[in-house]
Amino acid sequence: MIGKSVFIWAASVLGVLVCSVLTLAQPTSPRNDNDPARRIKIAPESVFTMFREAGMKPVNHELTPAQSEQVSRAFSRLPPLHQRLLRQHLHSISFMDNMPNTALTSLLDSGNGPKQFNITFRAGLLDETISEWASWKENSCFNRTADSSYAMRVEGGSLDALLYVLLHEATHVVDAVMGLTPPTSERHALIEPTPFTKDIWRTMNAPVEKYTDLLLEQTRFRSGRPMAISMAPDVYRKLAQTPFPSLYGMAAWSEDIAELVTIYHLTTHLNQPFYVAVTKNNVEVARFEPMKNPLVKPRLKQLATFYAP
């Protein structure tokens, strides 16, 4: 049974990445398995209820042996801090078919014990590469109807899409446990910044004035609406004038840290490419490569804590 819902962030996800609701469920039961990748369970009933009430027909997805190996491989590639904290705080992971968004992180009621989380993934991720999935997500920000001469792709390498989404979701867990971004349920609350949000975020989903741009405010993860794809070159030029690692990272400070850690880890520690390329008539007219952005680079020193022994 559901106790209540807590709105931790107010990102405009629109079924693309992580949902903004953490659900308090019944108290969790003790675990004996020290390997988080083996904690595969059916998603909490509150997750099924949420999707059914939205008109979906979610179904639990049983993993094949090969898919279970994919999951183990993804967990083994996480940063050291993620691995340590997930052993303590990840209650379970779940896979679901007919799920409208890509992943949902739920905070479970663990009584007086350590925080415990469930992460539910859309099972289709298991059949996609990072490049395929990230290209789909990025293309959801733009409408090609008026001008099909433009195209967009994300080059993110050939590793499993599950790895990207697990990295992102697990960073939310690390953030919630360690308070790397300010904990708040109020979208417009002005509270004491953390080192990660200082001089970048004014409130949980509003950048400081210096990095608030009229064009970027119209993008999907800020406004909820896709833009004409002909605007994409200007969008990525504007994004390159901010310290944000992606358009999705502009949705809220929790998404900012999750995107920054994920893209940094993939490129720096797993030696994968990551850039957005916009073409017109098959000629590249814009490229956004966050880890080469001079405004992003100074933030990377803050990520050392994820790799401490």
> Per residue in 42-54, pLDDT tens?
999 989 998 999 8
- Write down how long the chain is: 309
pLDDT at 189: 72
pLDDT at 106: 92
pLDDT at 185: 64
pLDDT at 11: 33
The two tokens of residue 22 are 């953490």
Burial 126-135 (b: 16+ CB within 10 A, else e): bebbbbbbbb
Give the type of residue at 42.
Answer: I
- In terms of Cβ atoms closer than 10 Å to its own Cβ (0-12, 13-18, 19+), residue 30 is exposed
3-state secondary structure of 96: strand
pLDDT at 159: 98
Residues β-bridged to residue 142: 227
Q: Measure the CA–CA gap between 10 and 185, rounded to whole angstroms.
A: 8
Q: Which parts of the chain sit beneath pLDDT 50?
A: 1-27, 30
Burial 233-258 (b: 16+ CB within 10 A, else e): bebbebbbebbbbbbbbbbbbbbbbb
